[in-house]
Structure 1
Amino acid sequence: MARILVVDDQHLIRSGIVTLLRTVQGLGPVMEASDGEEAVAAAREHRPDLILMDIKMPRLSGLAAAERILALGLDPAPRIVVLTTFDDDEFVYAALRAGCNGFLLKDMPPQQLLSAVTATLSADLLVAPARVRKLVERHALPHGQRSRADADATSVLTGRETEVLGFVAEGLANEEIADRMCVSESTVKTHLHRLMTKLDLHSRAQAVVFAYETGIAQVGGRPEAPGP
């Protein structure tokens, strides 16, 4: 049974989402927090499987709270979905870059929200791969402006891991990557797990962002060929 934490400083919105989720059979306890500081404390104590996180809150923003929660090293790490009233690419990109799994608009219909929550509990990414690619192509730092530390981080990857990361950046599913590489899907999952562990990445979307910002994937083009 999945444990869910709803974080929003607006009581009416927070209580509405909590009440809605508590009507779903099969879900575990639904907890709530009113700001980012409370969210970090609740995540540490209750270890939720999924966190629905508002972006703009007093004391600590949702993005800052997400970064702190992911830095706690909880195992398994919670999936974090950002709640926003704005379909704003910059907010969404910042959330994905921080390691969040996707975003939802607060004004979406209740049934659609429930479907999205269910989908997030069974999948790593709540944003269509094509949307992720468009976001990173629009907001990723141009070549030559990337952090040297980030660029150097790619040196820890094997050639196969770099190849998998490039395909992930293309938006390919594990099964499609396996077909491209002529290996089993379990092998792809192993490479993906290892590269995400090495790079301290928390979501598939964050891996896509990393690939573009370090040049493994090219803005407006295909990923670079992996090293030897």
Structure 2
Amino acid sequence: MITEAELLAHAVRNNADWCAAMCRAHGLTGTFGPRAWTSPRRAPLYYPDAVTLTEDATAADLLPGIDRTAPGASVKDSHARLDLTAEGFRLLFEAQWIHRPAPVSPLPAEGWRPVRTADDLAAWALAWSGGDADEAALFRPALLADPTTTIVAGHAADGRILGGAVLTESAGVTGISNLFTTDGVPASYAWTGALAHAAPGLPVVGYESGEDLDAALAAGFGTLGPLRVWLAR
């Protein structure tokens, strides 16, 4: 049976794989090293320029590989072990890695289906961003061709998007990220839809904080440990 330490390592790598996929969709190529993933060019909005992969990662594994010529570079400290204040960073937020057992046979969720076309992705992204076109542009059609990425959406009877999520299948787990709902729909709706599309037999992981963490725990997740995100001044 997989230990929590092993599951945390898989969750960390899975999330780094998703960050790398997002960068590739924007024409950026990151590098996986033994202790960290780094992007030599500034990563897309909301995505880190570096991710620690192991508990013993240090600033020296991260900072030389990212662009610090202007403020705004960010680092995901996956094990909450670093203090980057002396390097000119401030703590942006803290969160908890989450996990739940592998689905045995996910039940279909009514109205939920994968996003397959560029037009459907554009509609999904606008719903995710609350109608902000600049933020919606983060999700580019190249993501639809990524073999590890599945974007799913839940629809009302009239076709409106009520929720969505991104599923990343890698490192022996399914990672869930960018989970959202619209029109006051409870988060449980999105968790139900996302879990219905998770691969049978693979543990499900992700990270959340605040009320989003509460919703994940209510959906049957447990915690694996803390992470931090640092932002360069």
TM-score for the superposition, normalised by structure 2: 0.27
- Specify which structure has the higher proportion of helix: 1
So what's the TM-score if we normalise by structure 1? Answer: 0.27
The structure, 1 or 2, with the larger RCO (C-alpha pairs under 8 Å, 6+ apart) is 2
